[in-house]
A and B are shown apart, each in its own frame.
Chain A
């Protein structure tokens, strides 16, 4: 017998009689009145900086004028062409000196401030992790309330890799003291657009700053 046959045989011999899958779980939605406000508040509690901007042009403006770093800036976003280096193909190790990566997220989740993005949004899978600082761009109307809402949207997506990112990389392994910047990005900034790019961009001004950061 192959290992597979031995394995499945043992499992079959020992499994109990079949129990039904419970009816689909309907989550209680009385968690918050305004998902976008909750998303922002939750992001701040997990150590993320949130900037409210109008649209993608304002994102470009931000990168051009406000980006607080020198060094290699990498982004696959078309709107940043000329400002940020496109993601280089080839060995992912080439990204090791990336200082700032700017990526377009797909879904934001209000209950935990996680942002979903896939390998199509990253160019290289390692980019959001290996970069010293990460900036994720999201539109307000992409914020859903709960994780089940996010999975309802993702349900049939065929990505090779996808991840929810909630805050900068962190650890509390030394005596439970919170340290930001374990192995992944040392900071996360969310540029939250109040308008989706697809709906046209006429306003270039920042809608407002929110630089408060807490843990």
Chain B
């Protein structure tokens, strides 16, 4: 990605789709995760009420976010946590750098934080000669492969174990051809343990920050956030401001939803609550805006800030499952990423709201009830209004709008389409018409709907 020529979602998907076997595997594996989520959520009798409650808590918090942020700050400061405010990605990265430089630290272990992906922190630090080690296994794998994560919960879901074995062979010295997940994980455990024990600074993400107590919660299955944070002299936690919730009571609701929605687990292995630094340790927390306040001001897209980053909308999305996370060319892929990215840069991410069938499956699984597919539809309108659509699509849409508003023309168009489908399907299903690249046209019905309706209505009236 990065400096290569701009490719949109369709072009990048085409790349992913060249390996049909991999696409099938990707599709089925994510669907399996979706099914696990279904089983777990169906075990909670009041699941729908829980979602509703979580959604309402987030609406309330976002509408009073300044007060909650100030309360959080006050309580966190009282706990001995240093609080930093970063209006944008650059100030976030600078803050991290300054903290590290003050301690003469040039090496950092990092647990999963999509925010630091969004801010391109690794690149920023590496360009200044610092070393960053991602410690979540999936993130470590994509880091070694010099790729971004393709999924916010399952960062290397696009990789096959043989490819991971090859990476580990090159970077960790495992035997060539070793592709056993158990043995590969063990090799990473040994290597990363050395790093945990020798790095003086650890950066973690934040799943929830609690205004009432000034603590924050980090959830992992691997234990990497804790290994880093409890061994390091300096712990830096980075969070988007939307992660604040009112109190511990509310945590009881969100932690019931998060892992069940994410991976179909009743809870993650570790849900760690950081309230005060340990003796002799420095604890820093960086609050980041980076476009979130702008999204907060957009009535139609505000609800996207409720996201708790469970990834369920990706696992269920028929487009994501078949196009792969990298096709979204942004840190947070999938349906929710396609709402967040155009807020950051409309021109660069104008393709993403169109990378959806608008089937609504994402909205149905979202634990905080974000109306994801409606927002995707609304982004399309905003993008068209701002002139950000590709010309082929705009021409087709204009023709469609013109036709739909004129019944006689529509009638004629329908008849000619059926004629074309029956006698010249290639004229429609041809390489110049991109919609049909992975699709087949249905057989044409013998009569138009209007003709059918006319006949049957008449029959009913007789």
With a CB–CB cut-off of 8 A, which chain B residues contact A130?
227, 230-231
B256 within 8 A of partner (CB)? yes
Residue from A18, A30, A129, A175 within 8 A of B226 (CB atoms)? A129
Interface residue count for A (Cβ, 8 Å)? 75
Contact in complex: B223, A183 (CB < 8 Å): yes
In the docked arrangement, what's the CA distance between A23 and B256, Å? Answer: 18
B59 within 8 A of partner (CB)? yes
Stretch in A98-106, A107-115, A198-206 touching the partner? A107-115
Interface string of B27-58 (1 = CB under 8 A from A): 00100110000000001111001100100110
Interface string of B263-277 (1 = CB under 8 A from A): 101111111111111
In the docked arrangement, what's the CA distance between A151 and B252, Å? Answer: 6
In the docked arrangement, what's the CA distance between A154 and B256, Å? Answer: 16
- Distance (whole angstroms) from the CB of B62 to the closest CB of chain A: 7
Contact in complex: B138, A173 (CB < 8 Å): yes
The total of Cβ contacts below 8 Å across the A-B interface reads 247
Contact in complex: A19, B275 (CB < 8 Å): no
Stretch in A50-58, A71-79, A156-164 touching the partner? A156-164
With a CB–CB cut-off of 8 A, which chain A residues contact B59?
19
In the docked arrangement, what's the CA distance between A15 and B270, Å? Answer: 33
Secondary structure class of chain B's binding surface, majority of residues:
helix
Stretch in A6-14, A61-69, A189-197 touching the partner? A6-14
With a CB–CB cut-off of 8 A, which chain B residues contact A119?
278
Interface bracket on B:
35 or more
Residues in chain A within 8 A of chain B (CB atoms): 2-4, 6-8, 10-22, 24-25, 27-28, 30-31, 42, 46, 92-93, 96, 109, 111-114, 119, 124-126, 129-130, 146-148, 150-152, 154-155, 158-177, 179, 181-185
With a CB–CB cut-off of 8 A, which chain A residues contact B161?
174-175, 177
Contact in complex: B63, A161 (CB < 8 Å): no
* Known interface pairs A21-B57, A175-B181; A160-B275 also in contact (CB < 8 Å): yes
In the docked arrangement, what's the CA distance between A159 and B214, Å? Answer: 12
B238 within 8 A of partner (CB)? no
With a CB–CB cut-off of 8 A, which chain B residues contact A112?
266-267
Contact in complex: B230, A168 (CB < 8 Å): no
Contact in complex: B267, A164 (CB < 8 Å): yes
B126 within 8 A of partner (CB)? no
* Known interface pairs A126-B227, A151-B251, A174-B184; A182-B56 also in contact (CB < 8 Å): no
In the docked arrangement, what's the CA distance between A172 and B20, Å? Answer: 23
- Distance (whole angstroms) from the CB of B187 to the closest CB of chain A: 11
In the docked arrangement, what's the CA distance between A171 and B269, Å? Answer: 10
In the docked arrangement, what's the CA distance between A146 and B138, Å? Answer: 31
